[in-house]
């Protein structure tokens, strides 16, 4: 998922205390993630950042999101991102923006008040906590050590009970990696320990539910890559969790040698990367993961490259000289400005890849729009997948794409 961890998948190449364990009738038809299963209606989830918002979309002097900014009628689940594992004890979790740090100039002191207000406004909405994100350390040691794992699970359960949350998402990137340095500690035992961790969390959530009368959800984020199902026990993990969240985006980025679609449904035969969402889903289905346990990810942001020549193909799959904007990416609400007639950009549609792109003769942008969503949601229904999720809510602050996504996938 992103930011520091913004790279949640940015490098996929394919692809946040302490303690013991507007009304819409159609919306109510969508089940919460924690209760959906085979044959249930599709889940619609979205991650949401806990770090400060861009200055251009803040409400007054408040640098963080508020409950009034969230269109909960389109969601079954909102996922607070991210909690991290404390390096000091290897088991406690914390959210960086809830404490003073060099990165945050203020503290998100009213996060839980906003969560409470959101749940009061949208009683059907499940609010979960995600632990991890790209570059998040501590999983391997915690899952390896029985005492640390027990303390970690008790800590997570304490958060769920104290803040009236509905579930946890484990975003361990990744237990056993693809062979290149992911920047976190890994060990061969992580394949087995990953499954044991998920199984022990599920058991603890069931015990907590027997106490509170709730059924708590458990999900895990996974990359849109064949190496994960080969190196990790994806089928066993899928049997435990309510859903595997397939991060089907970032197939291309500033690390690539050319421009390219970062979330295309199908494969253009001329695509040098050879990546598509159809392929990514098949990696998991062919490995034996049940379709209803796969939750397809949508990136509501774009990837951009500069210094791109037309070469008769409007810059598609062409070399570039640099990446514009911040980290070569921009939110959909920024892309909407570029879709206006006077922006200098032209929208193109790659029929082979079933993906749009923008080009102004120099800057090339891959993104997801309504037409792409239609094809992707048709694919979700065709394959019988368990639902969809978004990275992340603030990128589409007006919920323009989210509305289309929720209505199409139902």
Question: 252: which 2 tokens?
Answer: 């291309």
Question: 304: which 2 tokens?
Answer: 């951009």
Say how far apart CA 7 and CA 119 lie, in whole Å: 29
DSSP bridge pairs for 246:
222, 296
Contact 315, 253 (CB under 8 A): no
Distances (CA, A) of 241 to 85, 89, 198: 21, 26, 7
The contacts found for 63-71 with CB under 8 angstroms, 24 or more apart, are 63/105, 63/106, 64/97, 64/108, 64/110, 64/111, 64/114, 65/114, 65/393, 65/394, 66/114, 66/117, 67/114, 67/115, 67/117, 67/118, 67/121, 69/397, 70/118, 70/393, 71/22, 71/399, 71/402, 71/403
Contact 355, 264 (CB under 8 A): yes
| Among candidate residues 128, 101, 94, 109, the one with its CA nearest the CA of residue 18 | 94
Distances (CA, A) of 388 to 24, 128, 202: 19, 15, 22
Phi, psi (deg, nearest 5) at residue 258: -140, 175
Q: Concatenated DSSP letters for 248-308? A: ---SS-TTSSS---SS-SS--TT-SS---HHHHHHHHHHHT--GGGEEEEEE-EEEEEBS-
Q: What is the largest CA-CA distance in the chain?
A: 65
Distances (CA, A) of 379 to 194, 248, 354, 372: 29, 13, 11, 11
Q: Concatenated DSSP letters for 164-227? A: T--EEEEE-S-SS--SS--SS---TTHHHHHHHHHHHHHHHHHHHHHHHS---EEEEEEES-HH
Residue with tokens 């906590």: 129
Q: Active-site residues: which are they?
A: 173
Q: Which helix (H) or strand (E) holds 400?
A: helix 400-409
């Amino acid at each position: 998922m992103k930011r520091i961890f913004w790279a949640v998948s940015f490098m996929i190449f394919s692809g946040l205390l302490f303690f013991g364990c507007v009304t819409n009738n159609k919306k109510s038809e969508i089940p919460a993630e924690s209760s959906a299963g085979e044959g249930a209606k599709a889940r619609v989830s979205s991650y949401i950042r806990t770090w400060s918002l861009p200055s251009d979309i803040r409400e007054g002097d408040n640098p963080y999101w508020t409950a009034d900014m969230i269109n909960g009628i389109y969601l079954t689940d909102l996922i607070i991102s991210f909690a991290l594992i404390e390096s000091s004890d290897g088991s406690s979790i914390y959210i960086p923006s809830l404490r003073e740090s060099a990165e945050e100039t203020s503290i998100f002191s009213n996060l839980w008040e906003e969560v409470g207000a959101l749940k009061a406004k949208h009683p059907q909405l499940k609010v979960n906590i995600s632990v991890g994100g790209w570059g998040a350390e501590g999983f391997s040691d915690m899952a390896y050590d029985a005492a640390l794992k027990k303390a970690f699970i008790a800590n997570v359960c304490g958060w769920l009970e104290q803040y009236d949350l509905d579930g946890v998402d484990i975003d361990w990137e990744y237990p056993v990696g693809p062979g290149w340095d992911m920047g976190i500690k890994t060990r061969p035992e992580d394949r087995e320990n990953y499954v044991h961790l998920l199984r022990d969390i599920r058991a603890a959530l069931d015990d907590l539910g027997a106490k509170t009368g709730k059924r708590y959800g458990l999900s895990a984020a996974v990359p849109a890559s064949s190496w994960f199902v080969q190196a990790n026990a994806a089928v066993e993990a899928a049997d435990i969790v309510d859903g595997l969240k397939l991060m089907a985006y970032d197939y291309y980025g500033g690390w690539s040698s050319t421009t390219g679609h970062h979330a295309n449904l199908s494969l253009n035969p001329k695509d040098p990367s050879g990546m598509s969402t159809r392929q990514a889903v098949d990696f998991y289905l062919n490995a034996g993961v049940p379709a209803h346990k796969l939750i397809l990810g949508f990136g509501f942001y774009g990837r951009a490259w500069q210094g791109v020549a037309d070469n008769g193909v409007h810059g598609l799959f062409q070399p570039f000289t640099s990446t514009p904007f911040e980290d070569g990416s921009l939110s959909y609400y920024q892309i909407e400005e570029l879709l206006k007639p006077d922006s200098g950009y032209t929208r193109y549609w790659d029929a082979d890849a079933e993906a749009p792109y923008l080009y102004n003769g120099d800057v090339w942008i891959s993104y997801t729009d309504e037409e792409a969503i239609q094809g992707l949601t048709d694919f979700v229904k065709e394959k019988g997948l368990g639902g969809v999720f978004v990275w992340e809510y603030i990128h589409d602050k007006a919920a323009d794409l989210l509305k289309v996504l929720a209505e199409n996938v139902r």
